[in-house]
Amino acid sequence: MKIGCHLSSSGGYLAMAQTAVSIGANVFQFFTRNPRGGAAKPIDRNDVAAFLEYSAANGIGPILAHAPYTLNAAGAEERVREFAEMTMTDDLRRLELTPGTMYNFHPGSHVGQGAEKGVELISDMLVRIFESFGKTPSTTVLLETMSGKGSEIGRSFDELREIIDRVEHRVDAVLGVCLDTCHVWDGGYNIVDDLDGVLEEFNDIVGLGRLRAIHTNDSMNVLGAHKDRHEKIGKGKIGLEAFARIVNDPRLANLPFYLETPCDLQGYKEEIALLKSLVNAGIKA
């Protein structure tokens, strides 16, 4: 099972990998820079080299880089969209040093311009970024499924499909999707009573082949609340039985699971052990 959690990147790559191992994880997620925006720290190439060696020796990966929350490709102001484009371009350049990484971002919020306009702005930005690379980046870019809080794009599988189509018809790139269990639940997809139906719908619209990562979070809110408040595994409205089905579903079991629950390291260690025990126990009917 590939499982880990979000970790602080303040100590660098090697420190994250060592922390992951210390809590029983073999994957992890990290912010590429301050999640509220700002410049990224310069990359320490010695740290990257030490990380690559350590992660190969310890079977770590794939790692998932998360874009800052302030990145909004669908913003109404040009300044906001420029920041998004600059940041993602810079992030992808830096991630070339750690091949095989995945890069997850929140598609964006249309802030009243309408979902159609939002989808267009996000797709156009991705096309420009991929074109500016001159080759396919070594990093797979993932669109995150969103809860539909405010004017978030990506609240439905159809919106993700639209972005994928608009990008892939214009440039030679493949987009993936990161499914956030809290977000889809808050978005109205009933993964508790009908995981099968939700995954079938995902497959029909997006394609399960595009699913590359699972953000594994319980939710503080009810189905369709469009709130996005993560809860510890088994302590929220999704509940432990649903997670037992999720981690044991053959369509998901081989994917990397990344926890983003409100936990400290010890809490993450316990959740990782808990989810592993659900896999060892097999599917609960």
**Toward Fe ion, which CB reaches closer, 14 or 144?**
144
Closer of 152 and 180 to Fe ion (Cβ):
180
Q: Does residue 231 belong to the site contacting Zn ion (CB under 5 A)?
A: no
Nearer of residues 94 and 230 to Fe ion, judged by Cβ: 230
Give the residues lining the site for Fe ion (CB under 5 A). 144, 180, 215
In angstroms, what is the minimal distance from the CB of 107 to Fe ion?
Answer: 10
Which of Zn ion, Fe ion, none does 91 bind, CB closer than 5 to 8 A by kind? Answer: none
Which residue, 91 or 180, has its beta carbon nearer to Fe ion? 180
Name the residue nearer to Fe ion (CB basis): 52 or 236. 236
14 vs 230, beta carbon nearer Fe ion: 230
Least distance (Å) from Fe ion to the CB of residue 257?
A: 12
CB of 103 to Fe ion, least distance (A): 12
Residue type, 153: I
- Interface with Zn ion by CB under 5 A: which range of 56-64, 82-90, 123-131, 228-236? 228-236
Tell me how far, at minimum, the Cβ of 232 lies from Zn ion, in Å.
Answer: 14
Residues 19-78 that bind Zn ion (CB under 5 A): none
Tokens of 191: 């993964």
Q: Least distance (Å) from Fe ion to the CB of residue 75?
A: 17
Backbone angles phi, psi at 45, to 5 degrees: -65, -30
Q: Roughly how many angstroms between the first and final C-alpha of the chain, as a whole number?
A: 20
Residue 215 binds what, of Fe ion, Zn ion, none (CB under 5 to 8 Å, by partner type)?
Fe ion
When CB distances to Zn ion are compared, the closest residue is: 228
Q: How far is the CB of 260 from Zn ion (least distance, A)?
A: 7
Six-digit token string for 102:
């995945």
By the rule CB under 5 A, 228 interacts with Zn ion: yes
Contact (CB, 8 A) for 144 and 106: yes
Give yes or no for residue 271 binding Zn ion (CB under 5 A): no
- Shortest approach of Zn ion to residue 180 CB, angstroms? 6
Contacted by 228, from Zn ion, Fe ion, none: CB < 5 to 8 Å by type: Zn ion
Instruction: Label each residue of the chain as H, E or C.
Output: CCEEEECCCCCCHHHHHHHHHHCCCCEEEEECCCCCCCCCCCCCHHHHHHHHHHHHHHCCCCCEEECCCCCCCCCCCHHHHHHHHHHHHHHHHHHCCCCCCEEEECCEECCCCCHHHHHHHHHHHHHHHHHHHCCCCCCEEEEECCCCCCCEECCCHHHHHHHHHHHHCCCCCCCEEEEEHHHHHHCCCCCCCCHHHHHHHHHHHCCHHHEEEEEECEECCCCCCCCCCEECCCCCCCCHHHHHHHHHCCCCCCCCEEECCCCCHHHHHHHHHHHHHHHHHCCCC
Nearer to Zn ion by Cβ, of 51 and 157: the residue is 157
The residue assigned the tokens 């303040």 is: 10
Return the closest-CA partner of residue 60 out of 30, 29, 26.
26
Taking CB under 5 A as the binding criterion, the range among 57-65, 199-207, 226-234, 246-254 that sits at the site for Zn ion is: 226-234
| Residues engaged in binding Zn ion (CB under 5 A) | 228
